[in-house]
Amino acid sequence: MVNDPGLTISESAARGTADDCVLVLIGALGDLARRKLYPALYRLAAEGLLSPDFTLVGVDRVADDDASYAKAIGESLATADDTGGSVNPDALDRLTRGARYIKGDLTDPALYRAITATLESITAAGGSANRMFYLAIPPSLFLRVIESLSKSGAAPRTQENEEQQKGPWTRLIIEKPFGRDLASGRTLNTELLARFAEPQLYRIDHYLGKETVQNILAFRFANAIFEPLWDRGSIASVQITAAETVGVETRGSYYEEAGVVRDMFQNHLMQLLATTAMEPPGAMTATAVRDEKVKLLRAVRRFDAVALRESVVLGQYAAGTIKGEHVPAYRDEPAVAPDSTTPTYAALRVFVDNWRWEGVPFYLRSGKRLATRVSEIAIRFRRAPGVLWPRAARRTMDANELVVRIQPDEGITLSFQAKRPGAALSLTPEMELSPVRMRFSYAEDFGGAPGPAYETLLLDAMLGEATLFARSDEVEQAWSIVDPIVAIAGPDHTPEFYPAGSDGPIAANAMLAADGAFWRGLISGLPPGREPAPRQKEPAAR
């Protein structure tokens, strides 16, 4: 172990590689494994970050053997977006060398005896005794698989606290959703903690693996110029957006059960809210960071009957046009009920009742089939007094805005006011002000786009670094916030319909208009009706 004040890392981390381990991937031939997990593991192998003693064990119900499994991984990588179709043979060999495959039914105790025997044989042959289990399976199977892994001895209880890293370890990675509501989320936590210690559990939210989300902490706490402004005295409002152009595609049956609130708000958007608004942690450790997130979520004002009526908008996409192509309504998608009331869009007005944020509205929105794909956090500062400026200048003044773009075009933009050249040579009535932007781009400043989120998260899990994973109390606090919204989004609720390819329901605009605010336009980033004229080119500042 290497110890610094408030920081604990493994010897492997100090060397720049993951801890040695056997990764048991349950759901090894499923969509998540093929599209996300194998490309992430491949990149770790290609970058030399996998331990030489790493071994992959795939578990699924499809008939296969070790050689066929390794071949299937290679085929997945050849068509994966994250590899660009180019696969390095040496990296692929490093990933699949010694890979094992176990066929079985997840409800059959014999499968777990086979998993245990395989792990013991790997250890006996000189392989790693550290075990990591990734549950890439439907949530309905979580409890059964967790109980069976524990009962069989394949996944023993090990660490009781984050500092206890001695000896072989066992860790479980669990995909969202973490329950369907507060009650089921608590039940899942209870069952997990009855069998495993909290430091063994890695509840994965891929949004937290995105470089731009992690950069929020660095931006706030490593730059002295911003944190003093990060409160109700300087900030007028915060907007958090996760917009998608895609519909439900082949996931209609899942989405009918989940809806946008369970799919996006309980996990992704609540984590973005907590990261943006949390207090500075005492140290950059998993415990300290997650403690502050929990404190922030506890301070979020819960939705009562009035807030549900005035601060929640639920919508569902109708037919429309995206990029010139006609797309069907949600109710016409495969495996969706023709009279479905499932929301595909939600907008919330949230307040954080603590000293820092009292009275500052946080506007959260997420939806499918919107005008463009964008995830971002927009911090809108209070408008400067206009009393000093001529009338023409006051009309063109706008509030400063800081935008953290999570995807695509990852980066940070800060807008501020400047005098428009040529409008006037002095402070005359004709003088105009114009917004200009300072921009940081990951692609330009770091020579490429950030790596995939799953690559970061898998490496962190192998290192025992839990900062980017949700803790049990985080999960329950997030559920307690959105539970009332889940409750009203049932069969008796009628969502507001919005055309595919639009910015969302009209009622969402009205909710902000009541506050004298507006949503950032999904395409331009500017409010509707305030896009610059085509002949004008906005000055750029770097």
Does residue 53 carry a pLDDT above 60? Answer: yes
Question: Among the listed ranges 88-97, 124-133, 202-211, which one has the minimum average pLDDT value?
Answer: 202-211
Please report, for the chain, the start and end positions of each structural domain, with discontinuous segments joined by +: 2-175, 209-520
Global pTM?
Answer: 0.87
Does residue 541 carry a pLDDT above 60? Answer: no
Kind plus residue range of the DSSP H or E element containing 43: helix 38-46
Does residue 353 carry a pLDDT above 70? Answer: yes
Instruction: Determine phi and psi for 19, rounding to 5 degrees.
Output: -60, 150
Region 180-199: mean pLDDT is 93
Question: Dihedral through CA 284, CA 289, CA 292, CA 297, nearest 10?
Answer: 150
Annotated catalytic residue: which of 206, 268, 326, 493?
Answer: 268
Region 65-85: mean pLDDT is 84
Does residue 413 carry a pLDDT above 80? Answer: yes
Summarised one tens digit per residue, pLDDT across range 3-24 is 333 333 444 444 457 789 999 9
Region 433-441: mean pLDDT is 81
Region 34-41: mean pLDDT is 92
Summarised one tens digit per residue, pLDDT across range 523-532 is 655 554 444 3
Residue 160 has a pLDDT of 60
Contacts of 345 (CB under 8 A, 6+ apart): 260, 313, 314, 315, 316, 317, 365, 366, 367, 368, 370, 495, 498, 504, 505, 508
| DSSP bridge pairs for 174 | 135, 203
> Residue 109 to residues 22, 59, 135, 300, 332: CA-CA distances in angstroms?
21, 14, 17, 43, 41
Contacts of 358 (CB under 8 A, 6+ apart): 232, 351, 352
Summarised one tens digit per residue, pLDDT across range 154-185 is 999 986 654 555 678 999 999 888 888 999 99
Does residue 542 carry a pLDDT above 50? Answer: no
In the structure encoding, which two tokens stand for residue 142, read together? 């979580």
Give the whole-angstrom CA distance, residue 92 versus residue 77. Answer: 9
Residue 410 has a pLDDT of 85
Region 107-122: mean pLDDT is 95
Give the whole-angstrom CA distance, residue 307 versus residue 284. Answer: 35
Instruction: Determine phi and psi for 315, rounding to 5 degrees.
Output: -135, 170
CATH superfamily for 209-520 is: Dihydrodipicolinate Reductase; domain 2 (3.30.360.10)
Give the whole-angstrom CA distance, residue 449 versus residue 441. Answer: 9
CATH of domain 2-175: 3.40.50.720
Region 56-81: mean pLDDT is 89
Give the whole-angstrom CA distance, residue 118 versus residue 115. Answer: 5
Quote the crossing angle between the two packed helices 38-46 and 66-78, to the nearest 10°. 90
Region 324-332: mean pLDDT is 93
Cβ neighbourhood burial of 510 (10 Å; 0-12, 13-18, 19+)? exposed
Cβ neighbourhood burial of 213 (10 Å; 0-12, 13-18, 19+)? buried
* pLDDT above 90 coverage of the chain, percent: 58
Residue, of 498 and 218, whose pLDDT is higher: 498
Does residue 1 carry a pLDDT above 70? Answer: no
Give the model's confidence band at 59: pLDDT under 50 very low, under 70 low, under 90 confident, else very high.
Answer: very high
Residue 123 has a pLDDT of 93
Summarised one tens digit per residue, pLDDT across range 276-297 is 999 999 988 899 999 999 999 9
Catalytic residue check, 326: no
Give the whole-angstrom CA distance, residue 420 versus residue 424. Answer: 8
Give the whole-angstrom CA distance, residue 76 versus residue 80. Answer: 6
| 211 close to 451: Cβ distance less than 8 angstroms | yes
Residue 205 has a pLDDT of 86
Does residue 300 carry a pLDDT above 90? Answer: yes
Does residue 426 carry a pLDDT above 90? Answer: no
Domains 2-175 and 209-520 share a fold: no
Across 73-82, 268-277, 383-392, 518-527, which has the greatest mean pLDDT? Answer: 268-277
